[in-house]
Amino acid sequence: MSTSGVGTSEERALIRRGYWLAERVTRHHAKSFFFASYLLFGQRRRSAFALYAFCRRLDDLVDDTSEAAGALSERLAKARRMVAELYVPMPELASRELGPPSGRLTGAAARSPWDAGEFAALEHTVRHYRIPEQPFQDLISGMEMDLTKHRYTTWDELDLYCYRVAGVVGLMLTPVLGCSDEAAVQPAADLGRAMQLTNILRDVREDLERGRVYLPAEELAAFGLSEDDLRRGQVDARWREFMRFQVERSRAYYAKAAAGVHYLTGFGSQRMVRLMGAIYGDILRDIEARDYDVFSARAYVPTRRKLALAGAAFLRPRAVLPAPPGEVRMPLLPSGVGDLRHG
């Protein structure tokens, strides 16, 4: 879709510039997502970039510790207000939890983390695809969790974090990918969960260096592990069993997501989601190939492997991120800890 029917010539130029900037941000920061985006076309592809750029700027906002940035709480409040402004003309899509957007526009004088063009492109995307507000506000809530919570005791706590920082991104993208069916909501969120869990398993060492441990303490203890064991970076039988459990859980979420791919109707959307899930899921394969050693080097998917997966997604899409034959069951912790079935 062209932006020629949107506002003045200056506004249209701002939107075009914003989409261009969003593409650059995506190309630089999200190589796997950008690679998979080649299976999308036109406005869907541009809008996927606009949504990624919004998420990336939020992430940068949390990581910015410079004095010029101001208080983080004020910057997040500013982000909430800017999102609310998008929905003043679309109150039917506004968050029911937070109430009418027109009543949430005061305060938060901190500077914006977004370029004006990027935010104009986001607004154009939101209006064109009628994306609800709640996922954007939930994402900001996930960023707020990173301010105060550096450890997780239970899976339920971590699951909420994964939903807020990644699951909701699936909800934002679903209308862009050609789906308004309510049945697609859970699979879209599950793909985000799966990808965030994959990130957490891959980045144990980097998170420790930043003073964060996302792996639930209860589950570490179930396998006889402690935070001190993580710091030692020792790959022993306990760690391997723990990681096998976590990889199995991640794959269960990929399978749950795969079951919902058929709801996507946009041209190229199913292939794009299958490829994105397959590339991220392949990180788990590399972790296994490294004998679960995520301490000495970072697991990744090489370009030649991505190309092979892309070819399969194009020629044999159902073989990439295949739908499960039956009900997906979540793995159980060792006896005595309890059943971790979730949704």
Domain 132-343 adopts which CATH fold?
A: Farnesyl Diphosphate Synthase (1.10.600)
| pLDDT 10s digits, 240-292 | 999 999 999 999 999 999 999 999 999 999 999 999 999 999 999 999 999 99
| pLDDT 10s digits, 86-132 | 999 999 999 999 999 988 887 655 566 678 999 999 999 999 999 99
φ/ψ of residue 141, rounded to 5 = -60, -35
Write down the pLDDT at residue 147.
Answer: 83
| pLDDT 10s digits, 12-60 | 999 999 999 999 999 999 999 999 999 999 999 999 999 999 999 998 8
Residue 226 has pLDDT above 90, yes or no: yes
**Domain spans in the chain, listed from the N-terminal domain onward:** 132-343
Residue 316 has pLDDT above 50, yes or no: yes
Query: What's the length of the chain?
Result: 343
Residue 82 has pLDDT above 60, yes or no: yes
Decide if 28 contacts 60 (C-beta within 8 A). Answer: no
The mean pLDDT value for 136-161 works out to 94
When pLDDT is cut at 50, 70 and 90, the band that residue 335 belongs to is low
When pLDDT is cut at 50, 70 and 90, the band that residue 165 belongs to is very high
